[in-house]
Structure 1
Amino acid sequence: MSLRPTLDFLLYDWLHAESLNERERFADHSRETFDAVLDTCERIAREKYAPFNRIVDTQEPHFDGEKVILPQATHDAHKAFVESGMMSAAQDYDIGGMQLPYTVQAAANAFFAMASVSIGSNMLTSGNANLLMVHGTEMQKEVFAKNEFSGRWAGTMCLSEPQAGSSLSDVATRAVPDGPDFQNDPLGPRYRLTGNKMWISSGDHELTENIVHIVLAKIPDENGKLIPGTRGISLFIVPKRMVDTRGNLTGERNDVALAGLNHKLGWRGTTNTLLNFGEGKYPVGGKAGAVGYLVGQPGKGLHCMFHMMNEARIGVGTAAVMLGMAGYHASLEYAKTRPQGRPAGPAGKDSAKPQVRIIEHSDVRRMLLAQKAYCEGALALELYCARLVDEQKTGTPEAADDARLLLEVLTPIAKSWPSEWCLEANSLAIQIHGGYGYTRDFPVEQYWRDNRLNMIHEGTHGIQAADLLGRKVLMEDGRGLTLLGGRIADTIRRAAAQPALAGHAKSLGAALQRIASATKAAWATGNPQEALANAVPYMQAFGHVVLAWIWLDVAERALEADAAKSQPATAGRVGATDFFFNYELPKIGAWLNVVESRDPTCAALPEEAF
């Protein structure tokens, strides 16, 4: 079973990606160039990623005392990815990019995530470089970002610390000026960093000649004390190996030391590290302290970092989607070929008759349809968000601003919803395989293990929920929520004209009104503790309404092109829409009941009662 027909429909028939070629930035492209990119990435993923997904899971990275050792397959896959040009595909021609729409780049990267998310598509490297292109100096762009886009160097994002986790206000890594001689360094004001960073993906390896760490740290005040909270957080470039202004390695190692590798449930092919900055193991110029170059203004580190974090959250959502999709494809193939049992009813009691394939059992079909609804719907959501990125960058001023605000509201959903429901799809894939699914003889157990990370990294479920209800739906007087409501209402209007979808259109209208009333009810007292006590159920309901809208829009477009449902793909899309509206959307009532009543059960229970 191929992913390509689904991608083609979503890109061209639904999102009309070809129309982007009418914009000056993408004028050199056509459907043919887009298809060529997809063909190339599909081939590399099939040849260099998929065959080695189990190998990178079983042959975990290890540290030999000098360097981190990865399987040769990882080196080969990384080399093929870099040579494809996908690292800088959406960047300007003058820095080696292809000026591809981000929508096409996101679709192309889906092949790699599905083939082996653990080998990866270098999401952090491109996100790191993109951040520097926005907030870095011209020299920082030239030396660091361009070498990352070329694949010569890799990049990381260093936020979390062992004692702080996701609480960035408690960051304790310090950055002090490296003397007056270095404040005018061509690479940026130079500081010395000391501290520890935890959970750093790809924090150390030998895939590239250098690693560019983007690090959050606090600059002490005039009394040498760290400013509490997030106000004092600044952002620094800390290369693993020192470089000159032409991007050449100087031969000196920066004072960044690998303290250990984390051994994970999944994503085992990607190193995950604890890094010590400035412990004196690799003194620079005979002096302890990791050399870091300030990015942007002092105290504005989080503002810069969130540029990278938001992109990373869409990337995490896509990874979750594709792991779910891999499990769906595997379990569908298994269900079509595995004979077991006989039909329900008197005819099924005749043991002399041959067994039927398990796809003929209604409960197996329910589990397959749930996976299809979760995964294909979430893929459409991620591509819709990618299309908004293109709109924000190349649309008219009004359209660009609308896209910006819609992305603010949708990003928590784009990260969290696939992380929860495509993980559930992986669980259903195991269930369809039965006992075999719980063994390593089949790949579905690995897909589940790999996907379990996605509810945690780049902002946990709870953090995304608090961001959605506590900030995103309220910002700019709720204009983002109003904009989203307008898009949903437009879909409802068009779908209501389709007899097969009219009932769903009515249901979605009621659900949208319920979200609006629940949002007001949550904040009725103005007390954030009361409003946010049930932020996760709110986000679950909000996400289900968004996915119902996505499915209704996709189904309306499919029926517009194939009203008779003569194509199996059309029947599948309408069937997935029916499933989502009949089995999933009704769940929002239970979630929103506790939101609207500001139910205190969880928050009020004394600690001793747990």
Structure 2
Amino acid sequence: MSDVLIAREELDFLLWDWLGLDRVIARHSPDMVDRESADAILDLSARLAADSFLTHYKDADRIEPSLHGGAVHALPEIGAALRAYAELGLFSASFPVERGGMGLPGLLANASFAQFLAANVATAAYPMLTTANARLLLAFANEAQIEQFALPQIAGRWFGTMCLSEPQAGSNLADVSTRAVADGADALGDRYRLSGNKMWISGGDHDLAENIVHLVLAKVVGADGTIGAGTRGLSLFVVPKILPAGDRNDIAVAGLNHKMGYRGTTNCLLNFGERDGAIGWIVGAPGQGLPQMFKMMNEARIGVALGAAALGYRGYRHALAYARDRTQGRPPGAGAGPSQPIIGHPDVRDMLLAAKCYGEGALALVLYCAKLVDEAEHDPDAEALLGLLTPIAKTWASEYGLAADDIAIQVHGGYGYTRDFDVEQLWRDNRLNPIHEGTTGIQALDLVGRKLRDGAALGLLRDRIALTVAGAAGQPQLASLAADLDAWWQRIAAAAGGLKGVDPAVMAANATALLRAFGHGVAGWLWLDRALLCVDAPDEPFRGGKLWACRYFFEREMPRIDAWLRPVEARSDLVAAVPADFL
């Protein structure tokens, strides 16, 4: 059902009417793309997503990767789809022309990629990781490493991974125990031998590409046998599955992880250095591994958010189509007669409005961040704002994209939790995203402990919100919403300021509640901002629908902020103080 992927009308509204893609193109790549070619890219992406990615969505869920003969084997249709994706140059979409890329702005590249995420998020995970891997190498690797390892990924011939977590060290990277011992130097730079175990490695092994480029965090062993302590001791290494000479590197697959979703994405426990040590080359200087890896992690967080938004949006579209076709009962006041479509029932409309707010709202939020990525290339303020909104986008999209899929199951009723319909798989796939690339709690600590520390980025955000409030205040049908948004943000900002300087345990105990309030505040702002474009067409279904959704979000969703902020404002120590034995 390609019609339940991302509607072109939705993308056109977001890209051209709201985010001003024409202006982004004029500043970013005026010689590479125009409106006509951008539209052609979006059309091509929609067709390929429907014809090559969507077609094996359920098969890849049913036929999981297998490990035998020391190698991981994936569904062949995944490889065929990714080869078609590479042949059209889409791996290279957002890379500079001089590096073999298409030179597209990130906003357009992300809008294109959203169709593939909506069609088959597990297959789309391979290019997501690969492009982030290559972008890190372009930023920090030497020229020889870029030529050897990044360019084949940009071409889509080789795939990439990020190897951070270990069995004993999940999100706490200070506990990473993988070791790297100096082994001389060659044309690619300083060479090391790595030994250790990496867990939860998406795309860690498979038969879908010629080679796999692992970016591995490890600690260098000094000449005296000492290693760096904590995260400052981490260095980054590029470690290929197949070495430049054609030999297999000392990397073994110790097992496969079997997940509830994303089943087409191989997920591995990798052992580095079971024999003489896996050969890798250090990227940049020793001790810089974590700051370097944050470039890939932050790109992956936006990628996870985009995938979660696409899945939530697709779930909403499935639910809407089902509610229009499914007949059951009669709405209040309909009287006797045949059963009518369930979309006439107020409860179903309530669910659909919520799912619309979540799915469309998440997509708008992430594409807004994609635009900030383009702006950040020449605007420090945009870079600061992107840093502030990254944990918001990752969390809000992953939690509320999932909520949209949960609602989609409910709208389908008993059919919703059967495998005959896609919505149960959409929910299972999306359930991974609140954990992928840092859990909600980790994003909350990042927001409160780092991003709100000096208040400058929050000031930039408040300035942009104020522009929306001023514009909406002059529209009679939006004026009350503008006043509400301004009041909510005064309270959110005050609550954030109230956590500065408090006991760290109290701050951590209230961080997630503040993150949730912040996320709803940002979502409400962007709903009102988009509603401003619709006030002249209240009777047109598409734009009028945005006005109804905006009203719904302010009436039914924004009041949740009060419940989240109350313990923050009180600096509650409840969850910090409760004894573990009492849980």
Change (3 A) 1:21 1:231: closer
Change (3 A) 1:24 1:575: closer
Distance in 1, Cα, partners of 2:172 & 2:397: 24
Aligned to 1:271: 266
Aligned to 1:141: 146
Aligned to 1:435: 414
Are the aligned partners of 2:28 and 2:374 in contact in 1 as well (CA < 8 Å)?
A: no
For 1:432-472, what per-residue CA distance to the aligned partner results, in whole angstroms no more than 9, with x for missing partners? 01111011111100000000000001011100000001110
AA aligned opposite 2:479: A
Change (3 A) 1:77 1:255: same
Distance in 2, Cα, partners of 1:43 & 1:434: 31
Are the aligned partners of 2:537 and 2:544 in contact in 1 as well (CA < 8 Å)?
A: no
Change (3 A) 1:554 1:100: same
Distance in 2, Cα, partners of 1:341 & 1:143: 64
Aligned to 1:408: 387
Distance in 2, Cα, partners of 1:225 & 1:327: 52
AA aligned opposite 1:159: L
AA aligned opposite 1:232: G
Aligned to 2:248: 253
Unaligned runs of 5+ in 2: none
1:161-176 alignment, distance < 5 Å: 161-176=166-181
Are the aligned partners of 2:514 and 2:565 in contact in 1 as well (CA < 8 Å)?
A: yes
Distance in 2, Cα, partners of 1:149 & 1:224: 38
Q: CA RMSD in A?
A: 1.1
**Mapped pair 1:321 → 2:309:** yes
SS at match of 1:204: coil
Aligned to 1:93: 97
SS at match of 1:26: coil
Distance in 1, Cα, partners of 2:85 & 2:32: 23
1:147-186 alignment, distance < 5 Å: 147-178=152-183, 182-183=184-185, 185-186=186-187
**Mapped pair 1:557 → 2:533:** yes
For 1:19-62, what per-residue CA distance to the aligned partner results, in whole angstroms no more than 9, with x for missing partners? 22322633332100101111111110010011210000000000
Runs of 4+ in 1 over 3 A off after TM superposition: none
Aligned to 2:121: 117
SS at match of 2:195: strand
Shift of 1:86: 1.1
Judge which range, 513-522 or 54-63, deviates more.
513-522
For 1:192-229, what per-residue CA distance to the aligned partner results, in whole angstroms no more than 9, with x for missing partners? 00000000000001111110000000012443133221
Aligned to 2:459: 482
Distance in 1, Cα, partners of 2:551 & 2:189: 56
> Which residue of the other structure, out of 309, 325, 332, is the alignment partner of 1:344?
332
Judge which range, 270-279 or 120-129, deviates more.
120-129
> Which residue of the other structure, out of 572, 576, 580, is the alignment partner of 1:603?
576
Shift of 1:483: 0.3
**Mapped pair 1:70 → 2:74:** yes
Are the aligned partners of 1:321 and 1:422 in contact in 2 as well (CA < 8 Å)?
A: yes
1:399-478 alignment, distance < 5 Å: 400-474=379-453, 477-478=454-455
Are the aligned partners of 2:355 and 2:407 in contact in 1 as well (CA < 8 Å)?
A: yes
Distance in 2, Cα, partners of 1:69 & 1:28: 38
TM-score, length basis structure 1:
0.93
AA aligned opposite 2:533: R
SS at match of 1:241: coil
**Mapped pair 1:526 → 2:514:** no
For 1:124-147, what per-residue CA distance to the aligned partner results, in whole angstroms no more than 9, with x for missing partners? 100000000000001111111101
Are the aligned partners of 2:331 and 2:346 in contact in 1 as well (CA < 8 Å)?
A: no
Are the aligned partners of 1:522 and 1:532 in contact in 2 as well (CA < 8 Å)?
A: no
Aligned to 2:191: 190
> Which residue of the other structure, out of 30, 33, 36, is the alignment partner of 1:32?
36
For 1:132-181, what per-residue CA distance to the aligned partner results, in whole angstroms no more than 9, with x for missing partners? 00000011111111011001111000000000111000000000101xxx
Aligned to 2:295: 307
Aligned to 1:593: 566
Aligned to 2:228: 227
**Mapped pair 1:359 → 2:343:** yes
Are the aligned partners of 2:32 and 2:102 in contact in 1 as well (CA < 8 Å)?
A: no
Shift of 1:107: 0.2
Distance in 2, Cα, partners of 1:362 & 1:142: 59
TM-score, length basis structure 2:
0.98
Aligned to 1:56: 60
SS at match of 1:573: helix
Aligned to 1:213: 214
For 1:554-596, what per-residue CA distance to the aligned partner results, in whole angstroms no more than 9, with x for missing partners? 010222xxx1424211111111100110000110011011111
Distance in 1, Cα, partners of 2:284 & 2:575: 41
Distance in 2, Cα, partners of 1:325 & 1:506: 29
Distance in 2, Cα, partners of 1:413 & 1:15: 19
AA aligned opposite 1:439: T
Are the aligned partners of 1:328 and 1:426 in contact in 2 as well (CA < 8 Å)?
A: yes
SS at match of 1:265: coil
Are the aligned partners of 1:119 and 1:270 in contact in 2 as well (CA < 8 Å)?
A: yes
For 1:334-391, what per-residue CA distance to the aligned partner results, in whole angstroms no more than 9, with x for missing partners? 100001011225x54x4xx101110000010011111110111111111111111111
AA aligned opposite 1:320: A
Distance in 1, Cα, partners of 2:414 & 2:401: 21
Distance in 2, Cα, partners of 1:538 & 1:13: 32
Are the aligned partners of 1:53 and 1:116 in contact in 2 as well (CA < 8 Å)?
A: yes
Aligned to 2:551: 578
Are the aligned partners of 1:522 and 1:597 in contact in 2 as well (CA < 8 Å)?
A: no
Alignment: residue pair count: 578
Shift of 1:231: 1.1
Are the aligned partners of 1:26 and 1:101 in contact in 2 as well (CA < 8 Å)?
A: no
AA aligned opposite 1:498: Q
Shift of 1:508: 0.4
Are the aligned partners of 1:340 and 1:358 in contact in 2 as well (CA < 8 Å)?
A: yes
Unaligned runs of 5+ in 1: 244-249, 281-287
For 1:495-549, what per-residue CA distance to the aligned partner results, in whole angstroms no more than 9, with x for missing partners? 11111111110000001101111012222x4322211211111100000000001
Report % sequence identity.
Answer: 53
Distance in 2, Cα, partners of 1:435 & 1:223: 65
Judge which range, 218-227 or 164-173, deviates more.
218-227
Distance in 1, Cα, partners of 2:312 & 2:530: 19
Aligned to 1:262: 257
Aligned to 2:202: 201
Distance in 2, Cα, partners of 1:421 & 1:28: 35
Are the aligned partners of 1:50 and 1:115 in contact in 2 as well (CA < 8 Å)?
A: yes
